[in-house]
Structure 1
Amino acid sequence: MAHSIEEVKKSQKKFLIVGAILFIGTVVTVAVAKIPALDIGVHGFDTADLILGLLIATIKASLVLMIFMHFTGEKFMVYFSMGIAVIFTICMVWLIGWSKADPIQFENEDVFRSGIVTES
């Protein structure tokens, strides 16, 4: 906790700078999504746009965690818990991607798509 006016002003300045960076990040995200001249990769939403959007979101989330939630001075257990959550999230995203890349194949897919299933 800040006990002097100098510390309060220093914290306030830091919060305003981070708030401005978050606002600029939001403006950049919307601009990349809406302005065709800033669209990277193929026209429309593609992998490059996804990566750029996630990169901007990761930077913004990191700033919020470090500055507004005061994670820069936290203990080992908090970082350990966050690390486990990140590893779990990465594993789940990989698992979903892996399952989408290798779908279940049926012998007669037309029967299942039409909704008519006959018993043999």
Structure 2
Amino acid sequence: MLLGLLGITICASLPLSGVAGLAASLSIALLKSAMIYWRYMHLDEEDALNRIAALAASAWLLVLLLFLGIDYWTRAFS
């Protein structure tokens, strides 16, 4: 499944460019990372508390990356 998504990523990168290409690449990457979380971190075998902890860690990483992007974007104005 991951190799199939890799092929889709490569095929989508050729005709798509700009915002559409970025959106397609990021959505495929999000799907691939969710699959890796689910299977290789064995979240399919864990109880609900561990799944919530993994989701909270992912949300916290997203918040940190969002703040990093905002900081990088606002430095251009000063």
TM-score by length of 2: 0.72
Gaps of 5+ in 2: none
1:92 positional shift: 1.1
Instruction: Name the larger-Rg structure.
Output: 1
Per the alignment, in what secondary structure is the counterpart of residue 72 of structure 1? Answer: coil
- Quick one: which amino acid aligns to residue 52 of structure 1? A
Corresponding residue of 2:6: 26
CA distance in 2, matches of 1:92, 1:70: 25
Aligned residues: 77
CA distance in 1, matches of 2:32, 2:12: 16
Deviations 1:60-87 (A, max 9, x none): 2222333344312311332232122112
1:55 aligns with 2:27: yes
| Aligned-pair identity (%) | 17
- Quick one: which amino acid aligns to residue 31 of structure 1? C
Per the alignment, in what secondary structure is the counterpart of residue 71 of structure 2? Answer: helix
CA distance in 1, matches of 2:35, 2:69: 28
Taking only aligned residues, the RMSD between alpha carbons, in angstroms, comes to 2.1
- Quick one: which amino acid aligns to residue 59 of structure 1? L
1:98 aligns with 2:77: no
- Quick one: which amino acid aligns to residue 96 of structure 1? L
- Quick one: which amino acid aligns to residue 25 of structure 1? L
CA distance in 2, matches of 1:23, 1:54: 16
CA distance in 2, matches of 1:78, 1:71: 7
1:53 positional shift: 1.0
CA distance in 1, matches of 2:40, 2:61: 23
TM-score by length of 1: 0.52
